Chains A and B, each alone.
Chain A
Amino acid sequence: MVAASGTSGKSPRYYPAEDVKAPKPSYKVKQNAAKVRKSITPGTVLILLAGRFRGSRVVCLKPLESGLLLVSGPYKINGVPIRRVSQAYVIATSTKVDVKGVDVSKFNDDYFSRANDPVKAEGEDEFFTGDAPKAAIVSDERKADQKAVDASLLKAVAAVPMMEGYLAAKFSLSENDRPHKMLF
């Protein structure tokens, strides 16, 4: 009589002659969709806290895939062009502008990627004297896009009384302001 085996279930009818390695789990990092603060929606007026345009009040146009926000001054009002801005350096106010009529479908992260400059072979002297500040060259494409977006954006801004002056003014704290108690 064959003794009852200790293992439960029958052994499989087939198994390979050599051991087959089980595939290792993939450690590829899964990227989740970028989280945008609930208070930031298209049309929200944002206060920029850092960077070249710190203190400016600006209209948020849409969140981009990378998590950055697409933003425009409008340029005519406060000099802020169509630009990407990080959520972390922004205060979202409760004021909103109706930007439903503004077409921003062509803007994405690739639009803003740096054009590859040809690598310059620098001599030692040039290295030590440093770079002279280069004037920013704004491409005609950018200027045209700015005009197109701002045409409809300015109309939306004009619809709200005093909004133009508000966007033109810069935000700053004065002596009796308590930012932790202020509502934006």
Chain B
Amino acid sequence: MPFTRYAEVGRVVLVNYGPESGKIATIVDIVDQNKCLIDGPQDITGVVRQVIPFSRIALTDLTVKIQRNARAKTLKAAWAEADTLNKWEATSWAKKLAAKKKRASLSDFDRFKVMVAKKQKSAIIAKKMEELAA
């Protein structure tokens, strides 16, 4: 099985560590074996143009068609054309991250409501299983 996710210009990445962790960005240029230049674009994802080591990012399946060192304006246009933000949010990776975030922000009342919903769901399933087993 060959590699398919390359660290290339235009690769959309997820920042894992640091003040921008949890946000996505695009690789705009490769500096050397260990680091690359990324840019949000800042207006869309909030990540400023910066050099970041590969150890702090995770490559995604998405790419954007840009040339090396593309300006923020060009990058933004390329993102809009490829509809990258919506494509990212439709992936199960992004959905799992969003669910984790939601779960962490629940209040005590929310957690109670979740507990009740889980009980109702399992009651429905148990009833159905009983019907099927009979």
Binds B, one of A9-17, A72-80, A161-169: A161-169
Of all chain B residues, the one with the shortest Cβ separation from A91 is: B108
With a cutoff of 8 Å between Cβ atoms, the chain B residues found around residue A184 in the complex are 107-108
Closest to A181 in B: B104
Please choose the segment from B10-18, B55-63, B109-117 that sits at the chain A interface, where 4 or more of its residues have CB less than 8 A away: B109-117
B: contact size bracket: under 10
Q: Tell whether A95 pairs with B109 under 8 Å between CB atoms, given A162-B116, A165-B116.
A: yes
For the A-B complex, the count of residue pairs with Cβ-Cβ distances under 8 Å equals 34
Which one, B104, B107, B113, contacts A93 given CB within 8 A? B107
Would you call B106 an interface residue if the criterion is a C-beta within 8 Å of the partner chain's C-beta atoms?
Answer: yes
- Residues of A close to B113: CB separation below 8 A: 162, 166
Tell me which residues across on chain A come within 8 A of B106, comparing CB atoms: 183
Q: Is the C-beta of B105 less than 8 angstroms from some C-beta in chain A? A: yes
* Set of chain B residues within 8 Å of A93, measured between Cβ atoms: 107-109
CB neighbours (8 Å) of B108 from chain A are: 45, 47, 57, 91, 93-95, 171, 182, 184
Chain A: minimal CB distance from B120 (Å)? 12
Q: Which chain A positions have C-beta within 8 A of B107?
A: 93-95, 183-184
In angstroms, Cα B112 to Cα A169, docked, is 9
B105 proximity list for chain A (CB < 8 A): 183
Q: Name the distance in Å between A150's Cβ and chain B's nearest Cβ.
A: 20
Q: Beta-carbon contacts of B96-109 to A below 8 Å, as 1s and 0s? A: 00000000111111
In the bound assembly, the distance between CA atoms of A171 and B123 in angstroms comes to 22
What chain B residues lie within 8 Å of A166 (beta carbons)? Answer: 109, 112-113
Q: Nearest chain B CB to A56's CB is how many angstroms away?
A: 13
How distant is the Cα of A45 from the Cα of B111 in the complex, in angstroms? 14
Residues of chain B from 30 to 68 with CB closer than 8 A to chain A in the complex? none
Within 8 A of A (CB), among B68-116: 104-109, 112-113, 116
Complex contacts, A47 vs chain B, CB 8 Å: 108
Residues of B within 8 A of A95 (CB): 107-109
CB pair A165 B112 closer than 8 Å: yes
A163 to B32, CA, bound (A): 58
> Contact at A45–B109, with CB atoms within 8 Å?
yes
Q: What chain B residues lie within 8 Å of A57 (beta carbons)? A: 108
Cα A171 to Cα B33 in complex, Å, equals 52
Return 11 A-B CB contacts under 8 Å, by A number: A57-B108, A93-B109, A95-B107, A162-B113, A166-B113, A169-B112, A171-B108, A181-B104, A182-B108, A184-B107, A184-B108
Question: Which 3 A/B pairs are nearest by Cβ-Cβ distance?
Answer: A95-B109, A93-B108, A184-B108
Binding site for B on A (CB under 8 A): 45, 47, 57, 91, 93-95, 162-163, 165-166, 169, 171, 181-184
